[in-house]
């Protein structure tokens, strides 16, 4: 799980162009949205694309995102349980 | 109406990384810069330089500047980012449209980014022309001042396609300055 969390942090930094952020700067237990990284709705859409592209997970219900994107750890746990690639 | 050039800047870069390097040299803290496409980055750094000398030009949270317009021109519209976006939907078996690229697939987003950053609430416009045409830029800017109660306008030729990153930006004002806003002076 810790390896997946680190990989996710690196992917998030890359796809969201968080140039000045290092993986260690992201608290895996902190909310992804609303504070901290300052992500916006476009970033949320980009994370949904990331999940499908890299892990084969297609979110059918957008409301799921609210739960899954609570934190990097939540996201990692969801991916670990649902990934198809 | 007699208009004047208060400040101007010409910049050119070989690639987006060079713009980022230039951005860092400005010591500006605006993380959204890193999410912008090349066209918006180009306009952003030029505007930061041209507005740096006078913070009174910028609006703030309590009072935006309705008397400042952003009027841009170029040849290639947003074709560079359009092409990059197209690449994300080109193949049926690798079809992942990028929202982050899609939001920049209009050139006027570059003008909007600067308006948002500086709380400029006047007109924002982006005109596509065949070539850099000083007469047209002059006339369009004159008309914009004529039909709006403007104090300033940020006027620019802002071109990005492939490895071309060029910007000529002018801060145009009604206030008397040494340099007149004329088609000839746009060639500086």
**How does pLDDT run across B75-85, given as a tens digit for each residue?**
999 999 999 99
pLDDT at position B56 is 86
- Tell me, what's the pLDDT at A85? 85
**A15 interaction partners in chain B (CB closer than 8 Å):** 100
What's A30's domain CATH number? Answer: 1.10.1200.10
Running along chain A, 85 residues long, what does each successive block of 10 average in pLDDT?
Answer: 95 90 92 81 92 92 82 95 93
User: How many folded domains does chain A comprise?
Assistant: 1
* CB spacing of B35 vs A16 below 8 angstroms: yes
Q: Domain of residue A17: give its range.
A: 2-82
- Record: contact A16-B97, CB cut-off 8 A: no
ipTM rounded to 2 decimals: 0.83
Chain A environment of B99 (Cβ under 8 Å) = 42, 45-46, 49
Phi, psi of A28 (to 5 degrees): -65, -15
Q: What is the longest distance spanned by two Cα atoms in chain A?
A: 33
What domains can you pick out in chain B, each with its CATH number?
Answer: 4-187 (3.40.47.10)
> Is A24 at the interface with chain B, CB within 8 A?
no
Shortest distance between the Cα of A81 and any Cα of chain B, in A, equals 22
Alpha carbon separation from B156 to A37, B37, B165, B183 (Å, rounded)? 32, 17, 13, 13
> How much is the pLDDT for B90?
95
Please report the pLDDT score of residue A59 as a whole number. Answer: 87
Closest chain B residue by Cα to residue A44: B99
Residues in chain B where the model's pLDDT stays below 70:
none
| Closest Cα in chain A, distance from residue B60 (Å) | 20
What is the pTM (predicted TM-score) of this model?
Answer: 0.92
């Amino acid at each position: 799980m810790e390896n997946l969390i680190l990989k996710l942090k690196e992917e998030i930094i890359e796809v969201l162009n968080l140039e000045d952020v290092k993986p260690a700067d992201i608290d895996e237990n902190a909310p992804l949205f609303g504070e901290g990284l300052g992500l916006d709705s476009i970033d949320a859409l980009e994370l949904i694309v990331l999940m499908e592209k890299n892990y084969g997970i297609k979110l059918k219900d957008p409301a799921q995102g609210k739960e899954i994107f609570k934190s990097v750890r939540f996201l990692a746990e969801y991916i670990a349980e649902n990934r198809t690639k | 109406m007699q208009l004047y050039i208060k400040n101007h800047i010409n910049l050119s870069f070989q690639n987006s990384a060079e713009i980022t390097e230039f951005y860092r040299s400005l010591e500006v803290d605006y993380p959204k810069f890193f999410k912008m496409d090349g066209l918006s980055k180009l306009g952003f750094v030029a505007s930061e330089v041209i507005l740096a000398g006078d913070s009174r030009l910028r609006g703030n949270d309590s009072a935006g500047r309705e008397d400042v317009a952003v009027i841009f021109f170029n040849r290639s519209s947003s074709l560079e980012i359009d092409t990059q976006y197209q690449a994300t939907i080109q193949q049926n078996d690798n079809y992942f449209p990028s929202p982050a690229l899609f939001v920049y697939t209009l050139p006027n987003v570059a003008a909007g980014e600067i308006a948002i950053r500086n709380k400029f609430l006047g007109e924002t416009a982006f005109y596509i022309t065949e070539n850099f045409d000083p007469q047209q830029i002059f006339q369009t800017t004159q008309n914009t001042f004529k039909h709006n109660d403007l104090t300033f306008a940020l006027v620019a030729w802002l071109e990005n396609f492939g490895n071309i990153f060029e910007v000529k930006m002018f801060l145009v004002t009604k206030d008397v300055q040494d340099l007149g806003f004329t088609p000839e002076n746009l060639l500086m």
